[in-house]
Amino acid sequence: MGDSMAEARVISPQDVCADVGQCVGNAAVAIESGWNEAAAGIAAPVAVARPTTEDRVAALVRLAAERGWRLLPAGRGRQLSWGNLGQPVDLVVSTAAMKEVAYYSPADLVISVQPGMTWAELSRVLAAEGQMLPVDPFVPDDATIGGIVSTAASGPRRALYGALRDMVIGLRVVWGDGRVIRTGGRVVKNVAGYDMTKLFIGALGTLGVLTEVTFKLRPLPLHRATVLLSGDVQALRTVAHTVMTSELIPSRLELVLRGDASRGVLAIDCDEPSGGAAYQIQRLRALAQEQGLSAEVLDGDVADNWWRMHRASAMEAPVCLRISGKPTRLTAQAAAWRTVCAEAGFETLWSITVPAGMARIFLSSTADADGVRVRKLVEQLRQAAGEVGGQVVVERAPAGVRRGIDVFGGLGASRVWMEGIKRTADPHGLLCPGRFAGGI
């Protein structure tokens, strides 16, 4: 039904632009290319509105609902390569211009920001007060908070601090019918009503347009150190599992592998006070020696720099696949899966967040414009991982690669309930239809 309607639609970006201009002012709207290309895989210029207030966002959504326009909630467009290829949209509602701190009480370790604030800016604001949001997702520095929350992006720090769902405590959202909803609050403990906040984390904008996000924060660690162990992969694996089930408190425990070489690096962070850190480093050195691994200790900025470099090289890859499963199985199977990747002709960088049971495989650029080879690889990995209870998701990839597959691998029996949620939040089905798991 959706498709036949799509054929029948005649909504020109110019018309949309004119109507939107009346609603939010002409300066806040433009016709641009690239959005539908990245999110829907179709070259179709689209009106992009950049409202500056929640009221205007709500007005735009209401307008779109009235006119039957399909909407893409977005920020700076840095993560449009996440999710399924959706249907082309008629209007992009970018909250990139809403980038203020709405509320910050350092003594309460709580901040509310508008979704257009970049991750880098948020980190800077927090660091000025000696605080942090303990996520380190594999996204560009100028990705927005709205985008990060909508993709539930995560990184190595998940090992200790958990995922975004553990840090977002409140939201303001405009639903698909234009009503503004508040979920959660600004206190760290709160069980009043349904925890609807969680629905929007990772929903890729299919349930509403975020207009404010409230996080609970952590103080910056009193002391920072990273231990890098290098050597044989089997030995690194042994150390990783020993550390995970020991008294040690790694804030990151990332197994980094390149290609199918038999050597790798295990990066272990410690955010404990200096006495504890010293003890942990000493224990890690001893473990390294036992296993014939070399050990290097980085402190403070040097450590931060190593992680920045690691992220940068991961971000260079156009495709990221993610396998989730039991940590012991992930690390045991990694060798076999790396061979699969190598045989398919891909150069890979592996970043395995061991305690979280998440392996990210970054595929470096190959001439594979139509994505046939990547899709074949995904299929092979899904089969191999599925045998040991693992799950493979294409975290991000160019549009061409995502054509014709469900990057999430489909939904099970809970699909009917998810469709119900979608219908409730977006009764007209206008919020980037098709982009979410199972084609929702």
Scan residues 130-159 and list those touching other proteins (CB under 8 A). Answer: 130, 152, 154
Q: Specify which residues 353 forms β-bridges with.
A: 254, 358
* CB of 315 vs other proteins, minimal distance in Å: 19
Cα–Cα–Cα angle for 371, 377, 383, rounded to 5 degrees: 140
Phi, psi of 127 (to 5 degrees): -60, -30
* CB of 242 vs other proteins, minimal distance in Å: 10
Q: Tell me the three state secondary structure of residue 206.
A: coil
Give 45 or 409: the residue with its C-beta nearer to other proteins.
Answer: 409
Q: Tell me the three state secondary structure of residue 255.
A: strand
Give 241 or 403: the residue with its C-beta nearer to other proteins.
Answer: 241
Binding other proteins (rule: CB under 8 A), the pick from 310, 322, 396, 435 is 322
Give 35 or 408: the residue with its C-beta nearer to other proteins.
Answer: 408
Cα–Cα–Cα angle for 79, 80, 81, rounded to 5 degrees: 90
* CB of 68 vs other proteins, minimal distance in Å: 21
Handedness of CA 240, 328, 231, 363 (dihedral sign): negative
Give 221 or 318: the residue with its C-beta nearer to other proteins.
Answer: 221
* CB of 190 vs other proteins, minimal distance in Å: 4
Give 7 or 189: the residue with its C-beta nearer to other proteins.
Answer: 189
Binders in 91-120 for other proteins, by CB under 8 A: 105-110
Handedness of CA 138, 141, 142, 144 (dihedral sign): positive
Picking from 174, 200, 146, the residue whose alpha carbon sits closest to that of residue 56 is 174
Give 94 or 251: the residue with its C-beta nearer to other proteins.
Answer: 251
Handedness of CA 21, 150, 62, 212 (dihedral sign): negative
* CB of 30 vs other proteins, minimal distance in Å: 31
Report which residue type is found at 287.
L
**Per-residue DSSP letter, 145:** H
Give 32 or 166: the residue with its C-beta nearer to other proteins.
Answer: 166
Give 199 or 255: the residue with its C-beta nearer to other proteins.
Answer: 199
300 binds other proteins per the rule CB under 8 A? no
Q: Which stretch binds other proteins (CB under 8 A): 2-10, 68-76, 83-91, 318-326?
A: 318-326
* CB of 176 vs other proteins, minimal distance in Å: 12
Give 67 or 241: the residue with its C-beta nearer to other proteins.
Answer: 241
Handedness of CA 5, 50, 25, 99 (dihedral sign): positive
Q: How many residues of this chain bind other proteins (CB under 8 A)?
A: 90
Distance CA 56, CA 140 (A): 28
Give 20 or 314: the residue with its C-beta nearer to other proteins.
Answer: 314
Binders in 406-435 for other proteins, by CB under 8 A: 408-415, 417-418, 420-424
Binding other proteins (rule: CB under 8 A), the pick from 162, 259, 400, 439 is 162
Q: Which stretch binds other proteins (CB under 8 A): 48-56, 162-170, 231-239, 397-405?
A: 162-170
Picking from 42, 138, 34, the residue whose alpha carbon sits closest to that of residue 85 is 42
Residue 329 has a CB neighbour count (10 Å cut-off) of 16
Binders in 269-298 for other proteins, by CB under 8 A: 272-280
* CB of 15 vs other proteins, minimal distance in Å: 30
Residues in the chain, total? 440
Binders in 42-101 for other proteins, by CB under 8 A: none
Give 4 or 414: the residue with its C-beta nearer to other proteins.
Answer: 414
* CB of 411 vs other proteins, minimal distance in Å: 5
Handedness of CA 271, 272, 274, 277 (dihedral sign): negative
Give 246 or 366: the residue with its C-beta nearer to other proteins.
Answer: 246
Distance CA 177, CA 423 (A): 11
Binding other proteins (rule: CB under 8 A), the pick from 100, 326, 345, 386 is 326
Max Cα–Cα distance, the chain, nearest Å: 70
Binders in 347-406 for other proteins, by CB under 8 A: 355-358, 391, 393
* CB of 7 vs other proteins, minimal distance in Å: 29
Binders in 222-261 for other proteins, by CB under 8 A: 222, 241, 244-249
Helix H, strand E, coil C: the string for 281-313 is HHHHHHHHHHHCCEEEEEEHHHHHHHHHHHHHH
Per-position x/- string for 176-215, each x denoting binding to other proteins as judged by CB under 8 A, each - no binding = ---xxxxx-xxxxxxxxxxxxxxx-xxx---x--------
Query: CB within 8 A of 93, min separation 6: which ones?
Result: 49, 51, 57, 60, 61, 64, 71, 72, 73, 74, 209
* CB of 263 vs other proteins, minimal distance in Å: 24
Distance CA 231, CA 262 (A): 8
